Structure 1
Amino acid sequence: MKVHILHTGKVYIDRALAYREKTLHPLPFTGWFRGKDKKIWVPVSSYLIEHPKGLVLVDTGWHEEIRLNQKKHLGRLAYSMFRGDLPEGDSIAEKLHSLGIKSEDLDFVILTHLHSDHVSGLKHVQDAKRILTSEIEWKAAHRRMGYIKSMWQGVAIETFHFTDIPHGPNHQGCDLFGDGSLYLVHTPGHSDGMVAVLVKMQKGWLVLASDVGYSERSWEEMILPGITTDKQAACRSLKWLKEFSKRDDCIRVLANHDPAITPGIID
């Protein structure tokens, strides 16, 4: 088993989007009417898992269109809240090419949830054998605000149901290969159907935490993301992550937007 940590761009956000703040501002996570001293750049991560049973890509980072017409790609509302940056060579298409991998070589693309910085680059890998997101997330993306449907329009996305698994705040998720080596763990709160990914490495579990928390500080200090669809569920998911991180068989927890995480390979 080998896991590639890939930075597929970065995003400029208000710090309150990453770390919930108590403030008189009604919507601090938007960054509206808040100064530059409250803004931060954080990475946008994807992960390539070389599993004995296939290649699995988790999330897709920014699409190369972000370099050309960001306002059109994000839409006016999202563009007013955050900005993306995608240096040359950092798109998921370019990252895979540098590894000698074509999109059709991917056995699975897992979309932990459907927020823009996780699905923007989806059309770069739309030829993958299977593209999956949870049924709960798929329904939420067509019911709630905060999603940009054009990013997956025309792409064949499959949905999966949650079943009982040994892990997670609700013990719900998906055993992807049916052998206990890679779990998609339902971790709701930031979005309704979000999943974290548990990868069974030789020395223990690697956790790809998605946006359950934005960095190690999030679960150590129990600071929720600025955007949640269910605050209580988000607390339960963050608490589970904190507890799991302290297990003897947990080798590492990676938050998608943690600036302390550098690209590399875990094997």
Structure 2
Amino acid sequence: MMDKIKIHVMHTGYVCVSPDLPFGGENCSAIKASGIFGRKENRLWLPVSVYLIEHPQGKILVDCGWHRNMSPNGTLDKAAQIKSLGSLFLYLVNQGKIEKGAAIDEQLKRLGLKTSDLDYVLLTHLDCDHANGVGLVKDAKKILVALDEVECAKRHSAVRYKKKWWKDVSLTEFDWNDTEGPVRKSYDLFGDGSIELINIPGHADGLFAVKVKNVDGKFVLLFSDGGYAEKSWKQMITSGISLDRDKQKKSLQWIREQSMDANCLESLANHDPSVIPHVILL
């Protein structure tokens, strides 16, 4: 077993959203969060993060970011993005771009890895900026998504989710097998507590954080869209997109407690503009 777990924090492009989407708070309506009627000049460009975990038991990718086909030339491309997402509405809510070389398969190649080298891909939830790029890594050995999230995507397929993003991709649905987290639902990936997928519902039903822990009990928390930045848990600011406000607040409170734990080395949101790509040794 190697001495250290290595976590590569990478950005796979950017997403442009209304400021109310990430930081709208509990009284924000879904329409306001969408930004469709808001001022374009007030929009925020936020990074779209993914994480490669080099673990003694395999190589694990957390989320996939955007697909290259939605930004073929590395710039914002309205027509390409609408075609890739299959939705004009989703383009209006969140425009995206991926610089050349920043798509997940391109970044893995730069690290000397093939997508088939991935033992696991963990989809924290199925929103477009997390799952649209899954086709780029479809030959990974196993691609996991929570059963709760698959059911959530079925219920909200008319607007929020599009099955075409994972068409021809073999997804493995999992149910919770452990009891860590705000709603006592989690999945112990290796059965040793080193990689725990922890349900943090609210933003999406099957959303999970990934807690990566070493033998000394030190850990890194990758909390996806449980909050959109460090200030989310520090100031308890929920996002404007929520399926259940009470669960969202409960999840964010849990993220806050975990982030303030003395054993927490880093606590990272998926779209925090203050986070720059780096490597964590755990």
Bucket of the pairwise TM-score, normalised by the shorter protein: over 0.9
Give 1:203 deviation, angstroms.
6.6
Structure 1 residue corresponding to 2:121, chosen from 86, 99, 109: 109
Q: Report the alpha carbon displacement of residue 33 of structure 1 after superposing the two structures with TM.
A: 1.9
What stretches of structure 2 of length at least 5 have no aligned partner? 73-79
Q: 1:239 to 1:128 in 2, by over 3 A?
A: same
Is 1:264 equivalent to 2:278 in the alignment? yes
- Runs of 5+ unmatched residues, structure 1: none
Q: Which portions of structure 1, spanning 4 or more consecutive aligned residues, are displaced by more than 4 angstroms? A: 21-26
Superposition map of 1:1-267 within 5 A: 1-21=5-25, 27-68=31-72, 69-74=80-85, 75-144=87-156, 145-165=159-179, 167-201=180-214, 204-267=218-281
Alpha-carbon distance between aligned partners in 1 of 2:54 and 2:187, rounded to the nearest angstrom: 18
Q: TM-score, normalised by structure 1?
A: 0.96
2:217 and 2:250 mapped to 1: Cα distance?
27
State the 1:170 CA deviation.
Answer: 1.6
Q: Render the CA deviation track for 1:150-193: whole Å, top value 9, x for unaligned.
A: 1001110011111233x310221100011111100011000000
Letter in 1 for 2:127: H
Does the C-alpha gap of structure 1 residues 262 and 203 become closer, same or farther in structure 2, counting only changes over 3 Å?
Answer: farther
d(CA) in 2 for partners of 1:23 and 1:174? 32
Secondary structure of the residue that 1:193 maps to in structure 2? coil
- Which residue identity does 2:14 align to in structure 1? K
Inter-CA distance 234–24: structure 2 relative to 1 (3 Å threshold): closer
Q: Report the alpha carbon displacement of residue 24 of structure 1 after superposing the two structures with TM.
A: 8.9
Q: CA deviation at 1:9?
A: 0.6
Contact 2:26–2:238 (CA<8 Å) still a contact in 1?
no
**Structure 1 residues 23 and 255: alpha-carbon distance in aligned structure 2, compared to 1, 3 A threshold:** closer
Give the superposition deviation at 1:30.
1.1
User: Are the equivalent residues in 2 in contact too, given 1:19–1:218 (CA < 8 A)?
Assistant: yes
Tell me the C-alpha RMSD between the 2 structures: 1.5
Question: For residues 26 and 138 of structure 1, do their structure 2 counterparts lie closer, same or farther at Cα, with a shift above 3 Å needed?
Answer: closer
Q: For the Cα contact (< 8 Å) 1:203–1:251, is it kept in 2?
A: no
Q: Deviations over 1:193-228 (max 9, x none)?
A: 000000014671100000000001111111111101
CA contact (8 A) 1:21 1:28 kept: no
Q: How much has 1:143 moved relative to structure 2?
A: 1.2
Q: TM-score, normalised by structure 2?
A: 0.91
Cα distance, 1:32 vs structure 2: 1.5
From the superposition, tell whether residues 248 and 96 of structure 1 become closer, same or farther in structure 2 (CA, over 3 Å). Answer: same
- The one-letter code matched in structure 2 to 1:85 is K
- Percent identity between the two aligned chains: 42
Q: Which moved more, 1:133-142 or 1:167-176?
A: 167-176
2:239 & 2:37 partners in 1: Cα distance? 20
> How many pairs align?
266
Other structure's SS at 1:241 match: helix
